Amino acid sequence: MPQAPRRIGVLTGGGDCPGLNAVIRAVTKSAIFDHGIEVFGIADGFLGLIEDRVRHLSADNVSNILTLGGTILGSSNRADPQRFAIGYDADGSPQFKDVTDDCMKTLRKYEIDTLAVIGGDGTMSGARNFVERGVNCIGLPKTIDNDLEGTDITFGFLTAVQIATDALDRLHTTASSHGRVMVVELMGRNAGWITLHAGVASGADVLLIPEIPYDLGSVRDFIKDRVARGKRCSIVCVSEGARAKGGKQVVARLDPTSPDPVRLGGIGAQLAGEIERVTNIETRATVLGHVVRGGTPVSADRVLGTQFGHHAVRLIAEGKRNRLVVMKDNRLTDVDITVAANTQRLVPADHHLIAAAKAVGTCFGD
């Protein structure tokens, strides 16, 4: 069996989410208690490697963080070592530089043998850069969007769904009181997992996800039919990446310095205006936005994060290289880390939850 590394580094990349600290805790304590491996925390994702911001983590450092949201290490979704923004040209265009050599220098300085990389598809894409440089990277799947290829679920997703469900439950009562249509915009980028699960859990009437382009006429007819049947309100749950048939996603802004420059947002307000226009029913829009990313993780995410962290350290101790910890068919396993790079796991059109939702009368606008 290959010799276990003496030192590992752990970082959290991409957007924050509930459950990150549970993973950091599990990785650190499992490494120290089970294998005598030293652990170093890298601040703000790959940015900590670029700027040499690394600190030793002890078991005490990660005690009592299981219930905390966010990440004690900090995170960044802008620090791509291969395309790191260093300034602007005279015409205002951003300048980029490959600073991977700076990261490698930091790893050598602290004699870090392996990186435990916690993140989504962007972070795993960044990890591939280090894999190609000979650095062993063990990935742990994090994203509220649940869109990471290779795994059935990512930690952070279940908490986001619970927060969104709670909000939708509350909006039901105010929508009913006023006889309104309430449009709720949810995160998810190009995947509709949060909208699908929270919408079904809350009994939303219309679910619009990126994978199924919607027809405004179908939504209009569905809502007007509800009114005809005596329903006082309708709840429309829409993914930020949803779009009308033949239309485009609504983009809030572009950030040319970011590895993922497109910032989606605005579909909720746009759709609310369109629904009010075609139905003549008062319609309001609510954007939950980053609120679904924050706060205390639900128990399931704490458990999942702990399992992922422990399994990652076991792989490291066994000398496994460049693996991604995943949950497949309710079984903890691992796949090649490059499987999750530069790709997204979308909701299949024939997904069983879509069929179940349609069976109970939910409209998908198709």
Q: Which residues have a catalytic role annotated?
A: 145
For residue 54, list its beta bridge partners. Answer: 42
- For residue 283, give the nearest of 205, 342, 229, 166 by alpha carbon: 205
d(CA 29, CA 274): 53
- Classify residue 19 as left (phi > 0), alpha (psi -120 to 50) or beta: left
Q: Where are the alpha helices (DSSP H) in 142-215?
A: 157-178, 193-202
**For residues 248 and 267, is the Cβ–Cβ distance under 8 A?**
no
Burial class (CB in 10 A: 0-12, 13-18, 19+), 18: buried
d(CA 188, CA 240): 7
**For residues 10 and 113, is the Cβ–Cβ distance under 8 A?**
no
Residue 183 phi/psi, 5-degree rounding, is: -100, 125
Structure tokens, 110: 């602290």
Residue where the block lists tokens 């309100």: 233
For residue 80, what are the CA distances in angstroms to 33, 97, 128, 202, 340?
33, 10, 11, 38, 16
How many other C-beta atoms are found inside a 10 Å radius of the C-beta of residue 208? 29
d(CA 209, CA 238): 6
